[in-house]
Amino acid sequence: MRRYFDDLIMTNLYLFTTAFIFLIGLGVLAIVVMFFIDITQNKDVVRRNYPVVGRFRSFFTTLGEFFRQYFFAMDREEMPFNRAERDWIGRAAKDDDNTLAFGSSKVLTVPGTAIFVNCPFPTLDDDAIKVQPLRIGAGCAKPYDAHSFFNISAMSYGALSTPAVKALSAGAKMAGCWMNTGEGGLSPYLLEGGADIIFQIGTAKYGVRDDSGILCDDKLREIAAHEQVKMFELKMSQGAKPGKGGILPGMKVTAQIAEIRGIPEGEDSISPNRHPEIKDAASMLDMINHIRDVTGKPVGFKAVVGSYGWLSDLAIEIHSRGIQSAPDFITVDSGDGGTGAAPMPLMDNVGLVVRESLPLVVDILTEYGLRERIKVIASGKLVTPSEVAWALATGADFINSARGFMFSLGCIQSLKCNKNTCPTGITTHNKRLQRGLDPASKSVKVANFCKNLVHEVEMISHSCGVGRPRLLKRKHVRIVLPDGISVPMDERYPYKDILPEYAPKTAAE
C-alpha cells in the first residue's frame, strides 16, 4: 500500500513538473515570438526599440486610470467628476447618512465658486412650501404638468443597456421625475417602468423617420399616442460634441436597437451634424410648430450655446409670427457635457459651459419678453445640490442630469462607455457584464438619489430664507472673483429689462 501511494505521489509530481516545464516553454516561446514581432513592426517605436518590455508601457497606462482614481487623486481634483461628488451621489442613492465631519474639503476661494447667502432668519420646515408642478406648453392641446425640477437627461437605449434603462424608468416613476429618451427612439424598456417620457428627436430622427430618413408624421403620431410621452425635444446640438451628431459604435448596434432606430445591425450609427431641414431660426420654428401641430404636445429644443446672436433672431422671428409660435422650452446644454463617444477636440474645446450660457439665455428671453412663455431647462455636470440650486437661482425652471443618474446606478467612471466593456453593465450590451445590474434594486437607488437631491436643494433654499427652491434668485448667490472676494451674482450677471418694443401692452395702449 505504501509503495502504491509512493508511486501515485511520484506520478503526480512528474505530471506537475512536466506541465510546469511545458508552461515555461510556452512562456519562453511567446516571449520569443513577441520579440520578433516587436522588432520587425514599424508602427510603435517604443516596442521596436525595446521589444517585449515596451509592451508594459501600454499596460501601465491602462492601469493608471484605476490607480489615479483610487489611490492618488485627491477628493476634489479628479475629472470629469471628483471623488467627493461621486461619494455624495453614492450615499444619496443608498439613502445613507450624508453628513460629514471636521469641515469642508472644498476650496471656497477658487474664482467662479458660488456661495449661497444664508439668511439670519431661515425658513422653518413648517413654513416651507411643497414643490408644485410647473406647466409646460400651456397653449398646447395636451400641456405637461411636470412635478420634479430635477430629472433624467437624454440617454438613448443603445448607449445604455437594457437593465440600465429599466432601472432608470422605474426609478423615475418612483421619484416622480421625467426621463428623456435620448436620440435612440422609444424602446419598450423606456415605457416599462411607467415614467413620464420626453421623446428626443435627433438629427437622424430615429424612431420617427421614414425609409429615406425624413421625419414621418405617422410615426410622430404613433409616439405621441403613448400617454407616458409628455413632450418632444428637438436636439440641435449636444454638450460633449457641438456640431457633430450622435455616435453609437457598431459593436453596440444589436438587432433590437437596429430595429428601433431603423438602421442596419452591427454598423456604426452616425447621425448628421444637423437637421438637414433646419438652416436658420425660421426653419427651426417651422419644424417645432409642425411637430406640435401633429402631436398636440409641448415641443422644445436642446442646444449648446456658442455664438448666441441666433437666439435674438429666434426671439424676433417668434414675435413676428406671434408668441404662440415659440418653443415651449429650451434645454441649455453645457460645453462640458458628457456622452458615450465624442471626438476629443469637440469635447475639450467647443461650446460654452452652462455657468456662462445659462444666465445668457435667461437674459435674452427676458429682454424679448419670452421668459414666461418659454421654460428653461439646464443640463451639464449639475449633479450635486449646490449646482442644482445655483441653476435655479440663475433662472432655470428645471435641471436635467445624465451622469448623476448613471452614478446612482453604480457607474464607477471607468471611462469605457464607448467600448462595450463597461464593468458595471450600464453602457454595454455584453450579457455577462449586464448580469450584475439588477433593475429592481437599482431603480430604488435612482429614486433615492433624485429625492435626496431635491431635499437638499430645499435645505439650501430654506437656509437662504425662501420657502421653496424656485424662489431662489441671483441675489441669493455670491460669485468668488480672482482676488478671492465674492460679489452678488445679480451684480455679476444683472437682470435684464424687457426691451420697450417687446414689453406687454397696457389696456390703454
In a domain, 90, yes or no: no
Residue 208 lies in a domain: yes
Q: Is 215 exposed, middle or buried (0-12, 13-18, 19+ CB in 10 A)?
A: middle
Residue 92: inside a domain, yes or no? no
Structural domain includes residue 80 = no
Supply the CATH number for residue 287's domain.
3.20.20.70
What are 343's three cell numbers? 471626438
pLDDT tens digits, one per residue of 159-169:
899 999 999 99
Q: Are residues 214 and 359 in the same domain?
A: yes
Per-residue pLDDT of 90-132, as tens digits, reads 899 999 988 877 878 888 889 999 999 999 999 988 888 888 9
Q: According to the model, what pLDDT value does residue 334 have?
A: 87
pTM score, whole prediction: 0.86
What is the per-residue pLDDT across 45-73, written as a single tens digit (0 to 9) for each?
A: 677 777 887 777 666 666 666 666 666 56
414-440 mean pLDDT? 86
**Does any domain span residue 498?**
no
Last residue of a domain, one of 55, 72, 89: 72
Q: Is 293 helix (H, G, I), strand (E, B) or coil?
A: helix
Bridge partner residues of 479 (DSSP): 114, 487
Averaged pLDDT for residues 431-454: 93
Same domain, 150 and 38: no
Find all residues with CB under 8 Å of 85, minimum gap 6, and list them: 383, 384
Count of residues making up the chain? 509
pLDDT of residue 308: 87
Say whether both 56 and 158 belong to one domain: no
- Over 70: is that where the pLDDT of 138 sits? yes
Does pLDDT of 430 surpass 90? no
At residue 76, the pLDDT reads 63
226: alpha, beta or left? (left if phi > 0; alpha if psi -120 to 50): beta
Helix (H, G, I), strand (E, B) or coil at 65: helix
User: Three cell numbers at 292?
Assistant: 406640435
pLDDT for 26 beyond 80: yes
Q: Which domain holds residue 62?
A: 2-72
CA distances from 139 to 53, 143, 197, 216 (A): 68, 7, 20, 24
Do residues 64 and 212 share a domain? no
**Greater confidence, 82 or 191?**
191
Residues 258 and 389 in one domain: yes
Q: Is residue 430 part of a domain?
A: yes
Within this chain, do residues 47 and 152 fall inside the same structural domain, yes or no? no
Residue 502 lies inside a defined structural domain of this protein = no
State pLDDT tens for residues 177-216: 999 999 989 999 999 999 999 999 999 999 999 888 899 9
Report if residue 52 sits inside a domain.
yes
**Pairwise CA distance, residues 485 & 504, whole Å:** 39
Quick one: 202 and 326 in the same domain? yes
Q: What percent of the chain has pLDDT over 90?
A: 53
Q: How far is CA 340 from CA 159, 161, 202, in A?
A: 6, 12, 15
What pLDDT was estimated at residue 251?
80
The total number of structural domains that make up the chain: 2
Same domain, 311 and 426: yes
pLDDT score of 241: 67
**CB neighbour list of residue 312: distance below 8 Å, 6 or more residues apart:** 364, 368
My answer on whether 279 and 409 are in the same domain is yes
How large a percentage of the chain has pLDDT more than 70?
90
Q: In the structure, what pLDDT confidence band is assigned to residue 219 with cuts at 50, 70 and 90?
A: very high
3 state DSSP class of 136 = strand
Kindly state whether residues 194 and 300 are assigned to the same domain: yes
Task: Tell me what the mean pLDDT of segment 153-157 comes to.
Answer: 92
pLDDT tens digits, residue range 311-335? 999 999 999 999 999 999 999 998 7
Instruction: Quote the pLDDT of residue 129.
Output: 86
Question: Quick check: 374 pLDDT over 90?
Answer: yes
192 and 317 both lie in a single domain? yes
**299-321: b or e for each residue (b if 16 or more CB lie within 10 Å)?**
bbbbbbbeeeeebeebbebbbee
Residue-wise pLDDT for 264-276, tens only, equals 888 887 788 889 9
Q: Which of 325, 332, 365 is nearest to 497 (CA)?
A: 365
pLDDT the model gives residue 67: 61
Residues 53 and 188 placed together within one structural domain of the fold: no
Cα 146–chain centre separation: 19
* Least confident window among 92-106, 444-458, 472-486: 92-106
- Residue 453: pLDDT band (50, 70, 90) is very high
Mean pLDDT of 437-445: 93
